[in-house]
Every structure is written in C-alpha cells, then in structure tokens.
Amino acid sequence: MKRRGESREGRQQRIMETKKIIIEEAKICSLQSEVVVVGEYILKSKVGEGPISTVWKANNIVTQEEVALKQVFLSKLNPTLKNCLDCELNFLSGVKHPNIIRLLDVIKGEGCIFLVLEFCAGGNLSSYIQQHGRVQEKTARRFMQQLGAGLEILHSHHIIHRDLKPQNILLSCLDSDAVLKIADFGLSRIVRPGDHAGTVCGSPLYMAPEILEFQSYDEKVDLWSLGAILFELLNGYPPFHGRTNVQFQLLQKIKSCKSLPFSEIILPGLDPDCVDMCSRLLMRNPEKRLSFDEFYQHKFLKR
C-alpha cells in the first residue's frame, strides 16, 4: 500500500528493502540456500503439475497475501495451446465473478509466464468428493447453481471450457459454505453461435461423446461435463469409466447405456427433477441435450 506523500521511487525502494528482509528471514526459517522470488511473490510449495504448467502456492512479499502462481512453459505450447492461453488471459483479465477463479496479475519470466491467481484453500472438488463421498442432494443443487452461474458468464462471452471436471473446480475454503470456482481455462476457446470446434481435448471421464467420436462440437460439450459432475456428486463415482483403452471403452459404455447407473441406494430418495436434469445433461445426442437456457431454467435449480 502506498504511504501518504510517498513517491513512486520511494515505494519501489521500500518494497526492495522489504524483499531483502523477508527473503533472508525465509532462508533462516527454511534452512534453504535458495528462495525463489517471482515478481513480488515468494514461492512456497508446488500444489499441482501438468504437461505444460506447474501451479505454486506463494505469498506476496509485502502483504503476505496467499496466491496461486500458474507457471506456463511457453516452449511446450503448440499453436492451438497458444491460442487457448490467449483466450484464458483475455477472458480472465476482464472478468470478476465469484464462481470464476480471479486473475490478479500476469508476470513474464524466462521462457514462461506466471498467472497470479486467487488462492483457494478448500482444494478442488475431486478431493472434496474423495473425502466426503457422495453429497446430499441439497449440496449438489447448491454446487450446480454456482457452476451454472459461472458457466453463464462463459456462455455470454461465447467461450467453451472443454475441460470441466472436479479437478478443475476449486473451493474457496474448507467451510461448509464454500464457494465453487471454475478454474484452469488452458483448453478454452471462443466458439461463436453456429460455429463448431474439432480439436479432441479434455479428460476422457468427462468428455462428451461427440468429442470421443472425433466429431465437430459446440458449447454443449460443457453441459455434458456438467452432467457428469452432477452424477459424481450424487453417487460418488463418474457415470462412465473404463480400465484399459479408456476412450474406446467409455464410448462403448455410453452407446450401450439404456439408463444412467445411479446407485440403487440413493436413487429412490432423489427428487425426480434432479434425475431429470442429470439424465438430460447426459444425453448422447447433443441436439437432445439440455441447452444452456433450459439448464438455467430447470426446476431442480429453482428450489
């Protein structure tokens, strides 16, 4: 925070002096010879890693605010992924919504770029399901309302996420009233009304069948993923899965499915509107799948 009467040069000098002090303290406390500093942030620990990026937990040197730093390695990006990164940056830099991860800053590094993101202490939805098992219907409804609110913003910008899954949905905190936030837009892209995409991408357990079949697709692939997430919230396991040759087995199971494999323990107690929403989100034919407007107006979300 800038002090009253303080010049820009004075503030920068104060920040540099604070950096030196905190870095030295960090070395003493951690007994390490090296402390990694990115901009105004000290890296604390690695919290995630993928083929093209690493996510770090970090602290602001001056304010001590906890953040997440997503380090994207530019040399690992093909032209398609570069376009996805541009889409991610353009979208997140102009959006501030409680159900979408907030981009705080962008820092250019050597051969990489760091996205400074809000830190979500509650972890991701996959870990939540593993720890708690299937959730109560009222919790699933609240979660779907929040995801729907976030997706509505994406839809208004003509953006499809293409990798919606529990691992990419974060919880703001560990409390029972945690807020869900859609994260990791690394595969997102703009698809205008009437246009289609064709790149095969995403996570097989949550990929729409039209992607698995190498067909062109539109924004309805995100609605399939949403249906798979709702099913997993209710049952504690995804609707379709295979052990070997995953994509082929998944597609065969989807094609042969006569009714969704709801747990016999929970199905009798589920609201028919809940089952209806889940079933219509997981329609194999995208033309018969719920549209965004039908999803937002569905009875299950209105209670």
Q: For every residue of 116-145, which 3-state class applies, written as one string? A: EEECCCCCEHHHHHHHHCCCCHHHHHHHHH
Of 105, 163, 222, 276, the active-site residue reads 163
In whole angstroms, give the CA distance from residue 167 to residue 125: 6
In whole angstroms, give the CA distance from residue 263 to residue 253: 17
163 in active site = yes
- Phi, psi dihedral angles at 156 (to 5 degrees): -65, -25
Specify the amino acid at residue 31.
L
Q: Is 34 helix (H, G, I), strand (E, B) or coil?
A: coil
CA dihedral 205, 207, 208, 214 (to 10 degrees): -120
Nearest to 184 by CA among 101, 104, 111: 101
Annotated catalytic sites, by residue? 163
